[in-house]
Chain A
Amino acid sequence: MVTTIARKDLQLLFRDGRLPWAGGVVLVLLATALLVGWERRAEISTERAAAQLLDYDDWVAQPERHPHNAAHQGMHVFKPDPALSVLDPGIDPYVGSTIWLRAHLQSELTFMPAQDATGLQRFGELSPAWVLQILGPLLVIVLGFDAFSSERELGTLRQTLSLGITSRQLFLGKALGQAMAVGVLLGPAAVIAALATFAGSGAAIGDIAARLGWLFLGYSLYVAAAVFIVLAVSAIVRSSRLALVALLGIWIATTLLAPRAASDLSRVWYPSPTRLAFNAALGADMGHVAEEVWQENFGLSTQWSPELPLDKWGLALQVDDHAGYGVMDRHFAELWDTFAAQQRAQEWLGLVAPVLAVRAFSMGVAATDFSHYRDFSLAAERHRRVLQDVVSADLVKNADPRGTGHFDYRAGTDLWQHVPPFQYTPPSVAWAVGHTMRSFGVLLATLLASLAAALFAVSARRAA
């Protein structure tokens, strides 16, 4: 019974042209987004890998110089582009890809592609994830808004129910029909997307396959929830026209407006400082801590006082830097915890606007979300400290003993090579999935709630 109804609904969608036309438009957009994403990743991956090598070569090829000058030159590290960024570039275009590791201060990611983008990009990056998250529910609405209402208007609902079909069988058949219609479109698209993700990616096949599997599961929950919501409205509303208007209203509110509102609300609930305020607070704390350690270690009340003997200059640098590590850790942790709290709030708001939950889940699985950004930033900072410690230790060992001749000391390639190249291993799929369990749970809850709503709506309506 259920499959009979599903097959008939699929046939109707083909015959009335909705599936070929609406689905075709979405497919063309998906294909375009996939092509753009694939080209972007191919270009970026090559560029970043080459830049990472060149930058380290520059570091090693420095002429003989005072090591602290070398530390000020520092080096750049480039966030590797994850394989699934083809499907979901996440926050990468907005937070950047490169960190400058240099003496004294922790840096943040810079060089954001969004800085070079046109105003159109403010609407969202054209990516397969964006198409699925924003246009996916719209496609489901176009295909299913009249699933029940048109049957009621035509009289075929009475005809069908008079045959001894239960409301639940009819609902399941219609849900399966919608799923088949979406599957007919997105099934081949998913295969092509998987191939595009594998092609040209250096990541392990098992890792990519697992991420694709999770992504498929997450989007399946999202689309299924959309199907149930559409069927619930179609069952409860009197006419197809009303159902379409109601569903478009829900789509605009939950898919277009909610993300913006959620972003603003999360900032109200968990205010994050401006860059100016953050830098000022960090600078002030660094100053206080420095005063204490300088007093304690060198008996000086100000940093870099002219009274500091040059035979302690390297040691002072080491002490000063180490004193700042804790302060920077604390400030950045507070800042990032605030961002994480904002993100959590938005994920919970996914209970009323599922796009927020699927967006977070998709970015997390694709390794382009904030938790991955944070992981990379921490790895970069660890490497900066290695660089800084190698240089300071060399100054303590070789420059400080020269006393007043401290600044005549020159180091060369041997020292530069002591700083290893930056190597970053992105978190595993298990780590990524662990960090997205909240949004996955929200998606699952949304699915169950929408299923319950649809079952209630269908059973509440009698044929007569």
Chain B
Amino acid sequence: MLEAKNLTKRFGATAALDSINLRVDPGEMYCLLGANGAGKTTLINVFLNFLVPDGGEARINGLDVTRHGIETKRLVAYIPEQVMLYGVLTGLENLSYFAELATGRKSPDDELVALLSDVGLDRTASSRRVSTYSKGMRQKVGIAIAMAKKARALLLDEPTSGLDPKAASEFSDLLRRAREDGVAILTTTHDLFHAKQTGTHIGIMKRGSLVANFSSETLSHTDLEALYLQHMQA
């Protein structure tokens, strides 16, 4: 579903992405670990066609994102570190707006309220202005938007960063459900525990390169931590 082939992106002399190769199939969740500046967000931006690669290809459902930017964006949902919504609108109004943009049709309020309820926002919360929301509540609206869009792939950029443990756990449960529904997920994170718990595959990025790539089942949490530190210190 999501595929990078020899993907390269340079900013001047710096290689933000250096011949990245990875693949995320439906029902898989690929967790990208790495220090700040490793190139994780750049990879997400290339998949979203916000950045044009200097070499290689990023494909979504077999379509090159550079040549089919609009079509590929319609297949994915993007959830950043902090889901950005309009503060003066309610959660329901935000969902209604973004869902209509994503699907091209206006969904009935009842359907949207049910979606918000599914992700853990009750009717009272969904009718409050988003300016009163916690970060976790915003992330839930982000997931609801992805669900309304019926996205076949999710691109997540450190989505649990800054969430309290309960909110992070709830968010992880939502992602697990999405994965079980056949959604392909590519997420960047600093959270090794979260990666091991929810990911099916884990990659480690360093200075634009994918230095490790393995199935999460093949490593224990302790092994993962050791491997990660080994790469970071090398």
- B70 interface residue, CB < 8 Å from A? yes
Question: Considering the chains assembled together, what is the distance between the CA atoms of A163 and B82 in angstroms?
Answer: 16
Tell me whether B84 and A154 are in contact (CB under 8 A).
yes
- Taking CB atoms, residues of chain A closer than 8 Å to B155 are 162
Contact digits for A132-171, partner B, Cβ 8 Å, 1 yes 0 no: 0000000000000000000000111011111111100000
Contact digits for A380-415, partner B, Cβ 8 Å, 1 yes 0 no: 000000000000000000000000000000000000
Interface size bucket, B side? 20 to 34
From the candidates A12, A164, A464, name the one contacting B45 in the complex (CB within 8 A). A464
- B85 interface residue, CB < 8 Å from A? yes
> Which residue from chain B places its CB closest to the CB of A463 in the assembled complex?
B50
- B64 interface residue, CB < 8 Å from A? no
Tell me whether B89 and A12 are in contact (CB under 8 A).
yes
From the candidates B51, B74, B86, name the one contacting A164 in the complex (CB within 8 A). B74
- Taking CB atoms, residues of chain A closer than 8 Å to B106 are 4
From the candidates B71, B73, B80, name the one contacting A163 in the complex (CB within 8 A). B73
From the candidates A12, A158, A163, A463, name the one contacting B86 in the complex (CB within 8 A). A12
Tell me whether A158 and B101 are in contact (CB under 8 A).
no
A-B contact count (CB 8 A): 70
> Which residue from chain A places its CB closest to the CB of B72 in the assembled complex?
A164
> Which residue from chain A places its CB closest to the CB of B45 in the assembled complex?
A464
- A8 interface residue, CB < 8 Å from B? yes
Question: Considering the chains assembled together, what is the distance between the CA atoms of A464 and B42 in angstroms?
Answer: 9
- A116 interface residue, CB < 8 Å from B? no
From the candidates B48, B71, B93, name the one contacting A162 in the complex (CB within 8 A). B48
B97, B104, B155 pick with most chain A CB within 10 angstroms: B97
Contact digits for B75-115, partner A, Cβ 8 Å, 1 yes 0 no: 01110101111101100010001101110101000000000
- B40 interface residue, CB < 8 Å from A? no
- B201 interface residue, CB < 8 Å from A? no
Tell me whether B80 and A158 are in contact (CB under 8 A).
yes
Tell me whether B70 and A164 are in contact (CB under 8 A).
yes
- Taking CB atoms, residues of chain B closer than 8 Å to A1 are 101, 104
Question: Considering the chains assembled together, what is the distance between the CA atoms of A133 and B74 in angstroms?
Answer: 43
Beta-carbon contacts under 8 Å, A285-311 to B: none
Tell me whether A4 and B88 are in contact (CB under 8 A).
no
B88 CB to closest chain A CB (Å) equals 4
Tell me whether A155 and B101 are in contact (CB under 8 A).
no
Tell me whether B50 and A462 are in contact (CB under 8 A).
yes
Tell me whether B101 and A163 are in contact (CB under 8 A).
yes
B183 CB to closest chain A CB (Å) equals 16
From the candidates A11, A12, A163, A462, name the one contacting B98 in the complex (CB within 8 A). A163
Tell me whether B101 and A162 are in contact (CB under 8 A).
no
- A5 interface residue, CB < 8 Å from B? yes
Tell me whether B48 and A8 are in contact (CB under 8 A).
no
- B149 interface residue, CB < 8 Å from A? yes
Tell me whether A155 and B80 are in contact (CB under 8 A).
yes
- A16 interface residue, CB < 8 Å from B? yes
Given A158-B50, A159-B78, decide whether A4 and B86 contact each other with a Cβ distance below 8 A: no
- Taking CB atoms, residues of chain A closer than 8 Å to B51 are 462, 464
- A15 interface residue, CB < 8 Å from B? yes
- Taking CB atoms, residues of chain B closer than 8 Å to A15 are 88-89
> Which residue from chain A places its CB closest to the CB of B142 in the assembled complex?
A159
Tell me whether B50 and A164 are in contact (CB under 8 A).
no
Contact digits for A342-367, partner B, Cβ 8 Å, 1 yes 0 no: 00000000000000000000000000
- Taking CB atoms, residues of chain B closer than 8 Å to A160 are 98, 101
B229 CB to closest chain A CB (Å) equals 31
From the candidates A8, A163, A464, name the one contacting B50 in the complex (CB within 8 A). A464
- Taking CB atoms, residues of chain B closer than 8 Å to A11 are 89, 93
- Taking CB atoms, residues of chain A closer than 8 Å to B50 are 158, 161-162, 462-464
Tell me whether A156 and B70 are in contact (CB under 8 A).
no
Given A158-B80, A462-B50, A464-B45, decide whether A163 and B102 contact each other with a Cβ distance below 8 A: yes
Tell me whether B78 and A12 are in contact (CB under 8 A).
no
- Taking CB atoms, residues of chain A closer than 8 Å to B80 are 155, 158-159
